[in-house]
Amino acid sequence: MSLSPLDNRLHQGLLGDPVIAALLGEEAELAAMIRVESALATVQMRLGIIPQEAGGALVKGLGGVTVRPEDLAGGIARDGVIAPAFLRALRAQLSMEAGGWLHWGMTSQDLTDLALVLRLREIVQIMDRRLAALIRRLSDLAKAHRDTLCLARTRMQAAAPTLFGLKAAQWMAPLIRHRERLAEVRPRLLVVQIGGAAGNLSVFGDQALAVMDGLADELALGRAEPWHKGRDRLIEFGQMLAMIAGSLGTIGGDLALLAQGEVSEVGFAGAGGSSTLPQKQNPVLAEIVQSLARYAGGEAGALLQAGLHLNERDGAAWTLEWLALPPLIATTGAALLRADEMLAALRVDADRMQANIEATRGLVLAEAASFALAAHLPRHEAMALVKKAVEATLGSDRSLLDHLAAMTEVPVDWATVARAEAMVAPARALLDRLIARAEAHLDTNLTAG
């Protein structure tokens, strides 16, 4: 039994992300902790802090240790952190001399935070690749529908004609910014953490900075001061994840609305079925992406609460961070996977889009009509005339432009106004600019190094 659908085998294909789940799992955490202890010993041996022979035995011994998560559970429940039980398990497999130098000068939070950062490095790379793939998919969708007319809708109402390609490009634009943000947060996030018991590295004396910088270099992390209480690095990352998930949820929400039976402008290959209604083609992936986005937003709020970190170490805030950050990472990773699957399954019905424009009987051309009239009449008179024509159209089966032609002798070329194509030239220019932006962006390796 699982307490969360995120790691429930029944829901893996719906809500899961097995790659990121593995990086957040116990085995990956323990392996990262062993890597940290080995790197610390290597640096301290290099600086002469621990004897060469004992240090060499320690590094060699750490290469062959095994630690089982179930053997640590009792100790963690007692101590509130993983390190004491973990270190006991390691020392039981090391010589007495080598084990005596294990974890020398480090504290539990150093070990836990560094093990997290090492795994976040891989997670950042995974998310970068997934974002890039989504940007490419949306850019291709935008190009494929550069000339596909559809309705723009504001506040759930038909507003004016636009291009479906522009809608796709506008879904894409935030993802470009998110990928840039991911590159920007990377050097702040992927940094060393070692402060010792009180966060001041006191046990290392005049070699404190050399130990800190050496450990950073050994683990290929950025150099940084101890950040036991400065959790802004993780909070910034978490809020960025929530923004990524939110942008994906917006795409899912838009597509779910477009897939409604009364609209039917898009559909999905292999859409979900109903247990009792054979006609149903449920937009499951679009719904799931929205759910994941909303969940991520909630966890981001909890992570902000964990930023209230008192004094040099705060066990309550730190524990809340453990509760909030992993599911936030997992849901964002899953949202990226499901969004890619959703867009791969997307089917666009351009004919239905055109039919829905025509079904408005020209009401979505009201803005264009008012501007056409304003070329011949004062602006307020043009608006008043269009509003009167809108009311007449709503009460009849004639089109807006037919009513306007009958209401005024102003020499407007109503046939030209009726061509929605004439209204979308700016949309096409915007679309082309966004596609060019995407192509330039995808040619840049943002997370190198």
* CA-based nearest residue to 126, from 216, 215, 22, 218: 22
The tokens for 325 are 């950050």
Alpha helical stretches, state H, 230-278 = 232-258
Using an 8 Å Cβ cutoff, are 360 and 46 in contact?
Answer: no
Using an 8 Å Cβ cutoff, are 34 and 124 in contact?
Answer: no
Long-range contacts of 350-353 (CB under 8 A, 24+ apart): 350/145, 350/148, 350/149, 350/150, 350/164, 352/263, 352/264, 352/265, 353/148, 353/149, 353/150, 353/151, 353/164, 353/265
- Residue 274 annotated to the active site: yes
What span, in angstroms and rounded, lies between the C-alpha atoms of 339 and 26? Answer: 27
CA–CA distances in Å: residue 449 to residues 113, 340, 387, 445: 21, 26, 60, 10
Return all residues near 89 (Cβ < 8 A) that are at least 6 apart. 65, 67, 71, 72
Torsion of CA 238, 241, 242, 248, to 10 degrees: -170
Using an 8 Å Cβ cutoff, are 302 and 320 in contact?
Answer: yes
What span, in angstroms and rounded, lies between the C-alpha atoms of 317 and 310? Answer: 8
Given 274, 379, 419, 433, the catalytic residue: 274
In terms of Cβ atoms closer than 10 Å to its own Cβ (0-12, 13-18, 19+), residue 431 is buried
The tokens for 351 are 């004919």
* CA-based nearest residue to 30, from 93, 98, 100, 105: 93
What span, in angstroms and rounded, lies between the C-alpha atoms of 284 and 271? Answer: 7
- Residue 313 annotated to the active site: yes
Given 313, 352, 361, 428, the catalytic residue: 313
Q: Which residues form the catalytic set?
A: 274, 313
